[in-house]
Homo-oligomer: A and B are copies of this chain.
Amino acid sequence: MQTERLLMIPGPSPVHPRILNSLSLPTVSHVSPELVEELKKALDNLKKVVFCEKGEAFIISGAGTLAMEMAILNVIKKGEKFLVISQGFFGQRMVQIAESFGLDCDLIEREWGKAVLPEELEAKLDKEEYEAVVSTHVDTCTGACAPIKDYAEVLKGRGVHFIVDGVCATGGIEERMDDWGIDVILTAPQKCFGAPPGLAVLVVSEKAIEKRRSMGAIPAYYADLLNWLPIMKDPSKYFSTPCVNEIRAFYESTQIVLEEGMEKRILRHARVAKAIRKALIELGFSLFTQEPFLADTLSVVEYPEGIKDQPFRKTFSKNGVVVAGGLGETAGKVFRMGHMGNLSVSQVYFALDTLERTLTSIGFSFIPGSGLKAAKEILGE
């Protein structure tokens, strides 16, 4: 029997019982009325989450990495150049994907923990022509949140396709596809939707679909949006057997998102992030990510002197809360705590209480109750 722990890594986030319940319904036919209906609704819901009225949504068996690849391959063809705005690990991955397919891209980035400024983007665009600009919204590794709206402002009128990697943002941080003029938002279920991983999720503007159509053959089959488009328009058609159970779970997750309402959900993510950070600072931690780039979906937290990564995370997990370690240059120096999706206020309090118990047991001194108190000042009793 597995011990249940609160999952506060930066994805998968905790999966709500309603979603687990949908996941575990007896597998139905991929062309059954149940699945056709729920996939249709999930696609509609998804568009609402990113404030998209036109455009096409795609829900495909796979992962965020596949969605990244799909976004690039369906909008940028060989000979065209694009720009990657990197906030860390996943921006680098976009470059790797480009290299795999022999696509030409430039990269702008800042040191880890900060995001590229809109004026840096503007300066780059004034110097060079790009077919598309790709930006990670929130980098799960560095905790940096990019000013996507400001980038979009810079891009206006330049005829550039704007692709946003919303894996750690969509459904928790504001992304207004139509208003801001985003062409592709790609994401995954296991972050702000709080559903199990296993899907590549995209919303694609009409302009980007048109671009795809104009491209002719692309080096993709499973990743070709045009192979999936007829199925997304009519899920009773067949291209490749959809992952029935995952899709039903994801549908339920989009229902939960819209029941809360996107505006409220965005505000809740911001408040929870603020509360957790205030608590962490009270307890003696500091933040790796710099203001004003702090993502509302996770915190990358630097250890104060006296706390060692491995024993801390091991004890924290044994006590009931799982957080992630740092990656690359931050390994051993930080832990990463996700606070996104359907995480409830009581789960936040449980996490902070468990954190205090953990600090006590590893002999770190702090003012007892100060973390929880700080959080409660923001979130209430």
Contact = CB atoms under 8 A, between A and B. Distances in A.
DSSP majority for the A interface?
loop
Interface residues of A, number: 58
A100 B217 contact: yes
Interface string A79-116: 00000000000000000110111100000000000000
Nearest to A217: B100
B2 A29 contact: no
A65 B221 CA distance: 9
A49 B79 CA distance: 45
A284 interface: no
Contacts of A243: 63, 196-198, 243, 246
A36 interface: no
Interface centre among A7, A24, A101, A199 (most CB of B within 10 A): A24
A224 B27 CA distance: 30
Nearest to A243: B198
A223 interface: yes
Contact of A25 (B2, B65, B217, B219): B2
Interface string A235-278: 00001111111100000000000000000000000000000000
A33 to B, nearest CB: 10
B30 A26 contact: no
A381 B36 CA distance: 38
B4 A197 contact: no
A62 interface: yes
A190 interface: yes
Contacts of A32: 322
Contacts of A102: 217, 219
Contacts of A101: 219, 221
Query: How many copies make up the complex?
Result: 2
Contacts of A30: 12, 197
A4 B30 CA distance: 14
B61 A245 contact: no
A26 B11 contact: no
Given A65-B221, A196-B245, A246-B246, A28 B11 contact: no
Given A198-B243, A221-B97, A12 B24 contact: no
A207 B318 CA distance: 44
Interface string A34-49: 1000000000000000
A222 interface: yes
Contact of A7 (B25, B28, B96, B100): B28
A242 to B, nearest CB: 7
Contact of A222 (B21, B66, B224): B66
16 contacts: A12-B27, A27-B196, A61-B61, A61-B66, A65-B239, A66-B240, A69-B221, A100-B219, A100-B220, A101-B219, A102-B219, A190-B241, A197-B242, A243-B246, A245-B246, A246-B246
3 nearest CB pairs, A to B: A198-B243, A24-B24, A65-B240
Given A2-B26, A69-B221, A197-B245, 17 more contacts: A9-B29, A12-B29, A12-B241, A15-B27, A23-B23, A23-B245, A29-B324, A32-B322, A63-B240, A66-B222, A100-B220, A100-B224, A196-B245, A197-B241, A198-B243, A198-B245, A222-B223
Interface of A: 2, 4-5, 7, 9, 11-12, 14-15, 20-21, 23-30, 32, 34, 61-66, 69, 96-97, 99-102, 188, 190, 196-199, 217-224, 239-246, 322, 324
